[in-house]
Structure 1
Amino acid sequence: MLEDKFGRRFHYLRLSITDVCNFRCTYCLPDGYQCDGDRDFLSRQEISVLVNAFAGLGTSKIRLTGGEPSLRKDLPQIIEQCASTPGIEKVAITSNGFKLPQMIQSWADAGLSALNISMDSLDPRQFHAITGHNKLETVLEGIDMALDLGIQVKINSVLLKPYSDTMLSTALNWLKDKPVTLRMIELMQTGDNQPFFNDNHISGQPIKQRLLDQGWGQILRDKSAGPAQEFSHPDYTGRIGLIMPYSKDFCKSCNRLRVSSRGKLHLCLFAEQGLDLRPLLREGDMNALQQKLVTLLGQKEASHWLDKGYTGATQHLAMLGG
């Protein structure tokens, strides 16, 4: 089992398979994707070595991220590789859903367990203003198809000052009979968004208090769950989650590690640098890779220090899929 010096165990790997994204979200890539290097992303063989090494060290959940992971044409094959790896119990994707209706069946057939969709508004005009695309109806259609296929669906919505009140009010109606979890995520400061962060960041704490006042109850987290505080209500089919990285002790329950699309281990989303695993991935030396992972984990810090304005090497969230 991968365990750090603070006693935290790591059951969960977030694996980026590309840093390319086709959306222009205001809080992430407002000017669109800028290619600033080669696109020598991990091959399927390298991914197989990586996933097997992590599985052998107790990892049970893999989340494939981007950028936008569906921009890789071999995504179904990558899902199948992960799902068929001994020890991996859950394979998830985080996607913007731009082609979800066309793709979801192939992902399900490959063994997809769970799907997170980035959707910051249920209002078509606001959705377009945030993402630069008129794709809300397509995304909603794909979500319904995923639910029909028995895939667990969560919605990621970044809290932004101009939109969040509308999103929460609209979502409460939507969640009445929609079996999804809406996760509202505090905007995080990155290397290139400080003015935007200063203008748009709001805390999730008032929303938490509002939910509690309205009869929502907090749910216990599973060992492989992400950092969201989730809430349910007897009158609602859906759930609401809050991800508040600026809250006290947020990092205390950290259970995930990240690997970039070029094979660098990031001990935290806001680590100072990625730690290169690629030579060992290319060699296919499983034992050496596992030993290196155990050794590198000793460098993991107690906190991300976001509350002190520290953003590390993360210039924007598309670099590692958030």
Structure 2
Amino acid sequence: MLDRYGRVINYLRISVTDRCNLRCCYCMPEGVQDVGMKNILTFEEIWEIVRTGVSLGITHIRITGGEPLVRKGCVDLIRGIREIPGVETITMTTNGVLLGNYGKQLKEAGVDGVNISLDTLDPEEFYKITGKRELQEVLAGIRAAKTAGLPVKLNAVNRKELDPIPLVRYAQEENLPLRFIEIMPVGYGKKYVGRSNEELRETLEAVCGKAECMTNREELSRMGSGPAVYYQFSDLKVPVGFISAIHGKFCDTCNRVRLTAEGYLKLCLCYDEGEDLRRVLREGEKENLRTIMEQTIFRKPAAHCFEHPAEMTETHEMVKIGG
């Protein structure tokens, strides 16, 4: 469907839990308050929302969290989504800790690819960032996903302290696309906003050779439907992507909405505007779900206001929104 600015909205990010088995410093270092499973959408409710979304033109689904694999039955949830006619792609964002146990199952359930968060290859720095000593589990999860035939992309947050070179070298050795993400001033992320991706790209050019922006549509289509801008560095064989929400605003082409674990249909990370679909499903308005979703998505804001933090109305931590 089209929103009021003529953008095609065809991508729904579904947070299936706000729980996580890591405690990343820029996300949820203190954990989250337990809201109880009764306040989390059931699988049946998620399937109903996806079916309705598909009727409105939603074709791409991303499963997020928290860490989605900590939710019991996550594979069954995905299998049910895959059975919904009109769903073209299902992808997942994960920290990779549990992926070694689920790679094959996710592939069989119909997952089309996984994005795996990896901010460092140094065990001590990993512990400092995540609060856990799970780096080897993440690396094993990456290997398991590749073995299962799942396309893998690596995500690294562009923190001020980031040393990108070891990550780039690892991505080249594993033949995996790597994307650097500018951290957004949401929740704990406000403390970690640092250099721009443009500065980072210039740093990489000094080591990895001249960078050329990729424009071939066929090549880019294989990278997915997200907002990353990919560059091919002359000394690298695998492209490097940059998601630059702060310094490279891409709101004019934004194609996504988010569904939180508690059922809130969220339109933009900056604002609390949206609709409580859990209430719609549980308080006798289920027959109006399609109309309510359509009207809500149509109101999607024109752009975020990260460059003007005082204008933000979103007060939740990122983990409560869905990563």
Normalised to the residue count of structure 2, the TM-score between the two structures is 0.90
Partner of 1:22 in structure 2?
Answer: 21
Match of 2:213 among 218, 229, 233: 218
How many angstroms apart in 2 are the aligned matches of 1:114 and 1:227? Answer: 16
**Contact 2:187/2:318, CA 8 A, preserved across alignment:** no
Alignment of 1:1-322 (within 5 A): 2-31=1-30, 33-35=31-33, 37-39=35-37, 40-162=39-161, 164=162, 166=163, 168-194=164-190, 196-197=191-192, 200-211=193-204, 214-220=209-215, 221-222=220-221, 225-233=225-233, 235-282=235-282, 288-309=288-309, 310-322=311-323
Unpaired runs of 5+ residues, structure 2, are: none
How many angstroms apart in 1 are the aligned matches of 2:231 and 2:122? Answer: 23
**Contact 1:190/1:311, CA 8 A, preserved across alignment:** no
Q: Which amino acid aligns with 2:225?
A: A
Normalised to the residue count of structure 1, the TM-score between the two structures is 0.90
How many angstroms apart in 1 are the aligned matches of 2:274 and 2:298? Answer: 14
How many angstroms apart in 2 are the aligned matches of 1:298 and 1:260? Answer: 18
CA positional deviation for 1:86: 0.8
**Contact 1:263/1:278, CA 8 A, preserved across alignment:** yes
Q: Which amino acid aligns with 2:318?
A: L
Distance 1:94 1:314, change over 3 A: farther
How many angstroms apart in 2 are the aligned matches of 1:225 and 1:259? Answer: 17
Provide the identity percentage.
33
Residues 32-72 of structure 1: CA distance to partner in whole angstroms, max 9, x if unpaired? x1315333211111011111111122211111111111111
How many angstroms apart in 1 are the aligned matches of 2:80 and 2:234? Answer: 38
**Contact 1:97/1:139, CA 8 A, preserved across alignment:** yes
**Contact 1:175/1:239, CA 8 A, preserved across alignment:** no
Unpaired runs of 5+ residues, structure 1, are: none
How many angstroms apart in 2 are the aligned matches of 1:37 and 1:79? Answer: 23
CA positional deviation for 1:101: 0.8
**Contact 1:187/1:202, CA 8 A, preserved across alignment:** no
DSSP-derived class of the 2:90 partner: strand
How many angstroms apart in 2 are the aligned matches of 1:242 and 1:181? Answer: 11
**Contact 1:156/1:182, CA 8 A, preserved across alignment:** yes
The number of equivalent residue pairs is 314
